[in-house]
Amino acid sequence: MMKILGIGNALVDVLVLLKNDNILEEMKFPKGSMQLIDDYMFTKLNLSIANSEKLIASGGSASNTIAAMGRLGVDTGFIGKVGTDFYGNYFKEDLVRCGTKSHLIVEDAVSGVATTLISPDGERTFGTYLGIAANLKPEDLKPEQFEGYDYFYIEGYLVQNLDLIRKAIELAKKAGAKIIWDMASYNVVEGSRDFLFEIIPEHIDIIFANEEEAKALLNVEVEEALSILSKQVELIIIKEGAKGSWIQRGDEKISIATNKISRIDTTGAGDWYAAGFLYGLANDFSLELCGKIGNFLAENIIQVVGARFSEDQWLKIDNELKKML
């Protein structure tokens, strides 16, 4: 089985179930978006949700994907930065519980927190306070962190630090790893189109995007985006939510349908799709089976609050997965 290393913002999710979307309007957060917030906005948001029901779980886009694969038995590692506070210790311990090798850099600072506002219809909106997670620097990266990994998975949210991404890609390529890029969010793509046009054809081997992200990048519909990007990278996956996903590698093009599922919380749906797909890829399964496993995990994660399963839920997942293989 191939080994996969991830890099991303090491965050802890504070999940808030909203009774309505008033807080989104108050905070001026576009529904379904990811907004980076500063100290002032973080304090304001915490006051706004003070009386709301909350849950805590490890998060961060790449971390969700890597930890899920670790729990599925893939040999994984994760690079990120956390503080010495409660949230940092929580994140580090959870990573190890999932069977993922920690390449975390720890500093005496405040850890990153992603407040996930879950609307009554299941849509989620992020107010992300990066804290020390945003202070991951190119000089924190060492060649030995990349040794032995076949794939290197990068979350698009890291575009606030282009030098970090360039250094990470350089070290991963020198170690012989293929580069996987997850687009992260449509508004992140909109703000970093020039950089993406620079790195995709030259450095990226595999892309994960959803339809909004693909459109934000190329301003075309899904199938045309699939065609354009398949000429630039080895493998392109575009997710269409409840409609399923498209996969293309060279001339091989596949559409994967989803099942009708009532969603509770869409937090982590794309992350878990990527985890399922890459689990299949690491095991050299067909692209169709990779897509079906991705759909399966995404369909299950949207039926729980947060981006982690309990042990009882994992038993069910493991049993159902065995039937698919």
The per-residue pLDDT for range 95-135, each reduced to its tens digit, is 999 999 999 999 999 999 989 898 998 888 989 998 999 99
pLDDT at residue 170 above 80?
yes
Mean predicted confidence (pLDDT) in 298-310: 85
Is residue 184 situated within a structural domain?
yes
Is residue 315 situated within a structural domain?
yes
Is residue 249 situated within a structural domain?
yes
Of residues 311 and 200, more confidence is placed in 200
Which letter does DSSP use for residue 300 in this model?
Answer: H
Q: Which residue has the tokens 């799709």?
A: 273
Which letter does DSSP use for residue 99 in this model?
Answer: T
- What is the predicted pLDDT for the residue at 325? 87
Is residue 34 situated within a structural domain?
no
Mean predicted confidence (pLDDT) in 212-219: 96
Is residue 192 situated within a structural domain?
yes
Give dist(CA 16, CA 48) in Å, integer.
Answer: 11
Is residue 226 situated within a structural domain?
yes
- What is the predicted pLDDT for the residue at 220? 96
Mean predicted confidence (pLDDT) in 192-221: 96
CATH number at residue 173: 3.40.1190.20
Is residue 25 situated within a structural domain?
no
Mean predicted confidence (pLDDT) in 162-173: 97
Sign of the C-alpha dihedral computed for residues 17, 155, 242 and 26 taken in this order: positive
The per-residue pLDDT for range 11-23, each reduced to its tens digit, is 998 989 899 999 9
pLDDT at residue 31 above 90?
yes
Residue 231: which residues within 8 A CB-CB, separation 6 or more? none
Confidence category of residue 251, pLDDT binned at 50, 70, 90: very high
Among 136, 151, 144, smallest CA distance to 66 is for 151
Q: Report the 10 Å Cβ neighbour count for 143.
A: 11
Q: Which domain covers residue 262, as residue numbers?
A: 4-8+61-110+135-324
Q: Structurally, how many domains does the chain consist of? A: 1
Is residue 50 situated within a structural domain?
no
